[in-house]
Chains A and B, each alone.
Chain A
Amino acid sequence: AQKVTQAQTEISVVEKEDVTLDCVYETRDTTYYLFWYKQPPSGELVFLIRRNSFDEQNEISGRYSWNFQKSTSSFNFTITASQVVDSAVYFCALSGPNTGGFKTIFGAGTRLFVKA
Chain B
Amino acid sequence: DVKVTQSSRYLVKRTGEKVFLECVQDMDHENMFWYRQDPGLGLRLIYFSYDVKMKEKGDIPEGYSVSREKKERFSLILESASTNQTSMYLCASSLLLGQYEQFFGPGTRLTVL
Q: Interface of A with B (CB < 8 Å)?
A: 9, 33, 35, 37, 42-47, 50, 52, 91, 95-96, 99-104, 106-109
Contacts and interface: CB of A to CB of B under 8 A. Distances in A.
Interface of B: 35, 40-45, 48, 58, 88, 90, 92, 97-107, 109
A47 B101 contact: yes
A106 to B, nearest CB: 4
SS of B interface (majority): strand
A9 B106 contact: no
B97 A35 contact: no
A50 B107 contact: no
Contacts of A42: 106
Given A9-B40, A43-B106, A50 B58 contact: no
A42 to B, nearest CB: 7
A102 B99 contact: yes
Contact of A101 (B40, B97, B100, B109): B97
